[in-house]
Structure 1
Amino acid sequence: MNVQSHDSQSDELIFAQDEIQFAEETETRSLDGSWKILIVDDEIEVHEVTKLVLSDVTFENKSLTFISAYSAEEAKQLIRSHPDIAIIFLDVVMETEDAGLQFVKYVREEVGNQPARIILRTGQPGQAPEIHVTTHYEIDDYKLKTELTSEKLLLTVVTALRAFSTFMQMLEMSQKLRSQLIEYQQAAADLRSSERQEREKVAQLEQSLLRLQAVQPSPYSEKIETLGRLVTQVTNDILNRSNTGALSTLTMITQIARLVLRLTDEHSAKLGLSQTKLSVLMYLNEESDHCASPSELAKHCGVSRAAMTGLLDGLEQEKYVERDHNPSDRRALKVRLTPKGQEFLGWIDPQDDYQISHLLETLDDTERQKMIQLARKCLTILGEGSAN
């Protein structure tokens, strides 16, 4: 704070009575970034002395700008025109005995201006007792005109400006926090809306899938159900030792075989392999060293050696198998399942289990055991017959 002393002024400011005059708004200096001081008093000398003492004051690198009002009514207009006023020096007795006090209520309650520091200066303390005024009116300081020396006036201004500056900083911070809170709440609302929309999309997709499944059942479901009924009937015939003729039972077994072949062909086609190629890979996968001779594979698949050679050529091109000489007999070949072939079988195995599980679910434990025994017995008998 910088202050120039005035030799012509005494240390004590005397606010003498004078003829009441009303003037327009006046400013001794108007600089950008200055603190605005509103002087509300019906005595011209009070305005002049206040400006003279404070004319060279700076606070936080900003000077002071003075605005004069000679009545409470004038002050009401000015406070609305200048909402950024920092300090109001206010007289009590002007056009009425309590004009200043009514102006305090106007500023705080009607205008809603809380930051401005209101300093009440009175020459008639009997009209406005300090304790009563301080308790019932939102003022920030109470001074008698006769006690305000230059030094005390300067200290009063600095204290008020510091309080005003702190108030405005806190207000600005509060506004920023409120703005950030609004942005956060909006972002949270947008996120909840987005999540709700995504959940609705998922629900709609699930409903669409359910409707699609109801309209377009799995191509295997009908065949699996038919196959299950046939297997159950054959198994029950065996368990009940019925008098069903061998021809009838053979007919049902033949139907089962045809359905199995059809299902296997369709499934193999979806996997990009023929049924016979798939049988080759599965046979090799069951061997301990994943190896077998071409003749063993041909016998297992029920095809000729020449046909097996063509099948192995295709599987080798797809890198599912590889052929090599038998270590014990260089003239013989061994077919080995490659890691890619093992990976392929590992990929399709759960899908095969899914299809088989539909069939097995139609049988209880006893029926499943009898079916397996029957299948093994049929394979043994038919295998011996084909060998003979």
Structure 2
Amino acid sequence: MDVHQATALALRGLEVEARPIQLLHAHSASEAYELLTRNRDIAAVLLDVVMESDQAGLFLVRRIREELGDDAIRIILRTGQSGMVPQIDTIRAYDINDYKTKSELTRTALFACLSAAIRSYRQIRELKDAKRDLEEQGLELIRSRTKLRALTDHRERVREEERKHIARELHDNMGQYLTALRIETSMLEMLFPEPNPEVFKRLHTMRELIDQTIMDTRRMVSNLRPAALDLGLVSAAEWLISDFQSRTGIRCGLQTPREGELDLDQELATTLFRILQESLTNVSRYADAKHVDIRITRSSGLLQLEVRDDGCGFDPAAVREKTTFGLMGIRERVLIYGGSARIESALGQGTRLWITLPLIELEKSP
């Protein structure tokens, strides 16, 4: 009786995890390799060292691991003579999972060895399946985030175009109508050769209301899209800071390179302007600051925006637990351009915001 028949007899009628053990037989390393190539769901291999050659079994181990790329299958090496292949050296050199001499593989020992190998194989496959599922979920999450950022980018572009359109309509139409009304009011005054206190009082009130409406309209136009943006980021930042100081009384310092050194496209300049605008809005609402420093720099292929205030600061851990749409919006705007946003703060120590954008990516952005 050869080893194949003896093994089949020893395992006849036995089950592992309520399933019968199925044996596939190969009488050479090459035949075993072909068998394993056709059947990729084999759980364990009982492998003789000596087949076509004295080292055929060991060479097959390497082919299984390296050529087939199968690191889940459990390989139990069997040798006819103890010491023929040094056990410790073999385990070190080859990716095998157990090493037995044929004499010690009684029916019980053989069943115990295979049971452990099959359970181990199942657990490895389950882990691999779970890992694959996690990787697929991760890829799907990345795709979803990419689509979300593309949608955010599209939304911001549409919003900016709508702001430009509304600002232009207010400036071109409403502004003209208000100017015409003011001229008509002045003409009415000229139609009364003799002073009429009541009429002049009402005309004066009308003129004041028209002037106030003109000022409000100009402010709305500037808030929607300041004309300074057409002159570049530096000019827009200077206008924004001047308006911010006059409204809040908070002093601001601004450091920028010369306008020509930035050379930013209109969309990026608008994005950075909106980030700065949102940052200053947060300062005025929450920081209780006296002074704000703003720096825009360009060096080593990076564009950086830093906003630092001397206000009350906050606990970053507490803020992370809240939904802060302003900070989320800043991060999303930056991520669209492949950049990063970092915020440092502590209670009583002010707040610091860093925006970093890679210029190489900016040049490639549509």
TM-score calculated relative to the size of structure 1? 0.49
Give the secondary structure class of the aligned counterpart of 1:66: coil
Count of aligned pairs: 215
Closer/same/farther in 2, CA of residues 224 and 46 from structure 1, 3 Å limit: same
Q: Which residue of 1 aligns with 2:43?
A: 86
In the TM superposition, residue 204 of structure 1 has moved relative to its aligned partner by 1.3
Q: Is the Cα contact below 8 Å between 1:87 and 1:160 reproduced in 2?
A: yes
Q: Give the distance between the partners of 1:114 and 1:153, measured in 2 at CA.
A: 22
Determine helix, strand or coil for the equivalent of 2:45: strand
1:122 to 79, 97, 103: 79
Match of 1:206 in 2: 163
Contact conserved, 1:86 with 1:161, CA < 8 A, in 2? yes
Tell me how far 1:211 sits from its aligned partner.
3.0
- What is the correspondence of 1:149-298 to structure 2 with a 5 Å cutoff? 149-218=106-175, 220-226=177-183, 250=195
Does the Cα contact within 8 Å between 1:228 and 1:359 map onto a contact in 2?
Answer: no
Q: 1:134 aligns with which of 73, 91, 106?
A: 91
- Asked whether 1:61 is paired with 2:18, we answer yes
- How far, CA to CA, are the matches of 2:173 and 2:214 in structure 1? 20
SS at match of 2:77: strand
Query: In 2 relative to 1, CA 228–103 (structure 1 residues): closer, same or farther, beyond 3 Å?
Result: farther
The amino acid that maps onto 1:357 is Q
Once the two structures are superposed, residues 274-310 of structure 1 have per-residue CA deviations (whole angstroms, 9 ceiling, x without a partner) of xxxxxxxxxxxxxxxxxxxxxxxxxxxxxxxxxxxxx
Q: Which residue of 2 aligns with 1:274?
A: none
CA distance in structure 2 between the aligned counterparts of 1:170 and 1:110, rounded to whole angstroms: 22
Q: Show the 5 A alignment for 1:320-335.
A: none
Inter-CA distance 140–354: structure 2 relative to 1 (3 Å threshold):
farther
Which residues of 2 match residues 301-312 of structure 1 at below 5 A? none
* Greater displacement, 158-167 / 220-229: 220-229
- Note if contact 1:92-1:98 (Cα within 8 Å) is conserved in structure 2: yes
Structure 1 position 97, deviation (Å) = 1.4
Q: AA paired with 1:52? A: L
Name the CA distance, whole Å, in 1 between partners of 2:198 and 2:40.
Answer: 100
| C-alpha contact (below 8 Å) 1:47/1:68 kept by paired residues | yes
Distance in structure 2 (CA, Å) of the matches to 1:250 and 1:359: 27
Residue number in structure 2 paired with 1:45: 2
Alpha-carbon distance between aligned partners in 1 of 2:105 and 2:34, rounded to the nearest angstrom: 28
Q: Which of 1 and 2 has higher RCO (CA within 8 Å, sep 6+)?
A: 1
Give per-residue Cα distances to partners, 1:82-109, cap 9 Å, x unaligned. 1110010001111111111111011111
Report SS of the residue matched to 1:190.
helix
Measure the CA separation in 1 of the matches of 2:107 and 2:59: 28
SS of equivalent to 1:53: helix
Task: Pick closer, same or farther for the CA change 1:218–1:359 going to 2, 3 Å.
Answer: closer
User: Which amino acid is 1:195 matched to?
Assistant: T
Q: Which residue of 1 aligns with 2:227?
A: none
Looking at structure 1, the residues matched to 214 and 81 of structure 2 have their Cα atoms a distance apart, in angstroms, of 109
Q: Please state whether the residue corresponding to 1:65 is helix, strand or coil.
A: coil
Change (3 A) 1:78 1:252: farther
Deviations along 1:240-297, whole A, 9 cap, x unmatched? xxxxxxx867399978867988x9xxxxxxxxxxxxxxxxxxxxxxxxxxxxxxxxxx
Q: Which runs of 5+ in 1 are unaligned?
A: 1-43, 235-246, 264-352, 362-388
The equivalent residue for 1:357 is 212
Structure 2 counterpart of 1:101:
58
Quick check: which has more Rg, 1 or 2? 1
Instruction: Give matches, 1:373-384, under 5 Å.
Output: none
| CA contact 1:230–1:252 (8 Å) conserved in 2 | no
TM-score (ref. length: structure 2): 0.52
| Other structure's SS at 1:102 match | helix
After superposition, the CA RMSD in angstroms is 3.4
Alpha-carbon distance, 1:218 to partner: 3.6
The answer on whether the counterparts of 1:91 and 1:121 sit within 8 Å (CA) in structure 2 is: yes
Do the aligned partners of 1:121 and 1:145 also contact (CA within 8 Å) in 2?
yes
Q: 1:96 to 1:224 in 2, by over 3 A?
A: same
Deviations 1:111-130 (A, max 9, x none): 11011100000114444210
Deviations 1:45-65 (A, max 9, x none): 111110111121111111111
Contact 2:49 2:58 in 1 (8 A): yes
CA deviation after TM superposition for structure 1 residue 71, in Å: 0.6
Tell me which amino acid in the other structure corresponds to 2:110: L
Counterpart of 1:103, as a letter, is L
Taking the aligned partners of 1:51 and 1:76, their CA distance within structure 2 comes to 20
CA gap 1:194/1:358 in 2 versus in 1, 3 angstroms? closer
In the alignment, residue 64 of structure 1 is paired with which amino acid? I
Change (3 A) 1:357 1:105: same
Q: CA deviation at 1:208?
A: 1.8
Q: Which AA in structure 2 matches 1:86?
A: A
